[in-house]
Structure 1
């Protein structure tokens, strides 16, 4: 299977902001329609029906009664949540209680494993430890009920002080597509095991991985403010927006890239072919299967893979932007004029790099993580899929 950045997809869309928290389709919901592009759908029918889900609490720090589970997202064009009996219910303003928030928590079994059934929907599985999350149903711009998601990187968010994290998924007639995500923040160690045509696991941390990631980020002066006690590490893009990360952090590297490739070529290979580029008139312009060009990005553009590095779902500009975004974050764009770089030993090796993403990858057992939006370039994301799934297991692992 080709790396996902080489397929026709847009990995992640930033969620709309409302009241400091996110309200929109969870990011993974945009993946599944493109994830199977160009493949046969012969086994898709086998994915029909509810998917058995098992939740295992191996955190070692919290008993089952202290773990609160939420499955929220989208189905049939509506924002929905999963009920404890395995049905999908639309979110409604009337779900807000006297305190102004919903209680969509699914309790874990009193001991041992918890069994659930997941119908077709796209969304997120949130876990909170010690306290329940404060979800709020609001009215969106079209007058429809919409769910206000936790934003653990926003100090004014009512969930800021709560230990929580999430995984993302899409379950539909084409199969199951899921990932652990650190694109926004890293907090609770968890892994996903998906069985079906294959038996796959992703997201597992190595022993001591969480503490090692926190320590590694703290060691870098510009990144240290992103560590919130022992609760979470905020992704640097959100840190930039909050004023706790330098808005010009990547500027020297970006300037050097523009200077270097004014005088020589850089090549980017996608499934559309190889694009050859140089800086011309302040734009990095590529020829090849199609003509695409990029204005000089800002640090924020690099961290979010957005703005001047936005990746439209067009099969040409999008995949090239994704590869460039990964090369900037991994700091391989100067050392390797032929992208993507596929040797992880070359990633995060310069002083000026995305140390947050580097620390998260170093903490995982298989070296895979979603530290930035296009971390799936060259298949280094904590993402798994199966067109004929039989079961999913979410495990909270040791802190």
Structure 2
């Protein structure tokens, strides 16, 4: 899953009154414990190729955390050297310019990523990004916020973790859909790639959402006519561009469905006998195990809780992991629109997704326009393996490919 410990709690920044979030740790993926022996080169080559068809200069940034004890938050230069950020202030002070010149149209640039770094690679077109520092961390771009200085820049990012267990690299649309790009990893078994759009996929997503009245205003266009991004529903609601109660009626219906029926949650496909049983009692869904012991109680969520898979869905990620697994299953089912329609979750049949009374057209259209159908349309899109992620335990190289905006 897309780990919520990112840049200090994927979404648990501090100083939320700022125009952008101040985040303390990098966005990354959940990974297993590292083995004793190092795997992969100390500096992993990552090639960025510009097949976008756009002529503007591209600027790259590799930002993240050294995940070893005492590592800290910082940036990586093109040669693979990690440097911690200097101290910031209040109001936030400008961060050093750590942009790496990106590839020109049709070209490629290879950078190095050191082992034990977890974070993001940003890429912007035409203008450099504006990063700021506070005493608590780095202020990341948040273009859905009204005063964010990056809101008129065309940019996006990929996420990664590289450690002794290998490389995890994903494209993401959890916050917005902006720059079409694919990710790839190469090892002894060959090259695996994901995140590639079908021909005219970007336009298909944009036009498809413009045709949905509830989502139409989430398409953000610059004054020169450039479509900068489509905001994910939660971010669009934060920006006042979408009804913040869009899912409310559906949530109520789905919640009420289990007042007289039992919802069976089977959170691990490899452990089909690990089952939990839920019934709605008042505004809560109460879960028991096979012995009848209560194992979790989940309050009825708001639309915002569902879009962010947070709030009532937050749970300590500690053994035996029952509560967090139940909650991520419920949130996934609500986002995909299967909760209330089926009695066993997660439902992993893609044809059943986004067919509820208030469909998530954002995630639906993005998945529909991916060559392999895989995307990160919301935080738990990895449930069932629908995420745009590549991994290798013994990588030789990785790649980010900026793909055509039109073709």
If the length of structure 2 is used for normalisation, what is the TM-score?
0.87
CA distance in 1: counterparts of 2:88 and 2:299, whole angstroms: 47
Question: What is aligned with 1:71?
Answer: 62
Residue from 124, 127, 136 that aligns with 1:128: 124
CA distance in 2: counterparts of 1:124 and 1:175, whole angstroms: 16
Question: What is aligned with 1:352?
Answer: 358
Tell me if structure 1 keeps the 8 A contact 2:75–2:83.
Answer: yes
CA distance in 2: counterparts of 1:125 and 1:370, whole angstroms: 16
SS at match of 1:104: coil
Tell me if structure 2 keeps the 8 A contact 1:129–1:164.
Answer: yes
SS at match of 1:201: strand
CA distance in 1: counterparts of 2:188 and 2:380, whole angstroms: 26
Q: Which residues of structure 1 form unaligned runs of 5+?
A: 141-145
- Cα displacement (A) at 1:342: 0.9
Instruction: Give 4+ residue runs of structure 1 displaced > 6 Å after superposition.
Output: none
CA distance in 2: counterparts of 1:150 and 1:218, whole angstroms: 25
Residue from 294, 300, 311 that aligns with 2:298: 294
Tell me if structure 1 keeps the 8 A contact 2:267–2:345.
Answer: no
Matches within 5 A, 1:155-304: 155-196=146-187, 198=189, 199-229=191-221, 230-271=227-268, 273-288=274-289, 291-304=295-308
Task: Report whether the alignment pairs 1:108 with 2:110.
Answer: no
Question: What is aligned with 2:341?
Answer: 335
Question: What is aligned with 1:54?
Answer: 47
Question: What is aligned with 1:24?
Answer: 23
Cα deviation 1:226-258 (Å, max 9, x = unaligned): 110211011111222222221211111111112
Cα deviation 1:66-105 (Å, max 9, x = unaligned): 111000011143111111332111112589xxx9453211
SS at match of 2:138: strand
Structure 1 stretch 184-193 or stretch 267-276: which is displaced more? 267-276
Cα deviation 1:148-199 (Å, max 9, x = unaligned): 1111211210000000000011111121112111111110001100112543
C-alpha change, 1:283 and 1:133, in structure 2 (3 Å) is same
Structure 1 stretch 163-172 or stretch 112-121: which is displaced more? 112-121
Question: What is aligned with 1:377?
Answer: 383
Question: What is aligned with 1:80?
Answer: 74
SS at match of 2:63: strand
SS at match of 1:254: helix
C-alpha change, 1:197 and 1:275, in structure 2 (3 Å) is farther
Structure 1 stretch 54-63 or stretch 307-316: which is displaced more? 307-316
If the length of structure 1 is used for normalisation, what is the TM-score?
0.88
CA distance in 2: counterparts of 1:72 and 1:323, whole angstroms: 31
Q: Which residues of structure 2 form unaligned runs of 5+?
A: 222-226
CA distance in 1: counterparts of 2:78 and 2:281, whole angstroms: 58
Question: What is aligned with 1:143?
Answer: none
SS at match of 1:213: helix
Task: Report whether the alignment pairs 1:364 with 2:356.
Answer: no
Tell me if structure 1 keeps the 8 A contact 2:35–2:164.
Answer: no
CA distance in 2: counterparts of 1:80 and 1:398, whole angstroms: 31
CA distance in 2: counterparts of 1:323 and 1:378, whole angstroms: 10
Cα deviation 1:298-355 (Å, max 9, x = unaligned): 0001100011122431311111111111110110112221111111111112341211
SS at match of 2:206: helix
Tell me if structure 2 keeps the 8 A contact 1:151–1:160.
Answer: yes
SS at match of 1:263: coil
Structure 1 stretch 316-325 or stretch 84-93: which is displaced more? 84-93
Task: Report whether the alignment pairs 1:324 with 2:334.
Answer: no
Tell me if structure 2 keeps the 8 A contact 1:51–1:119.
Answer: yes
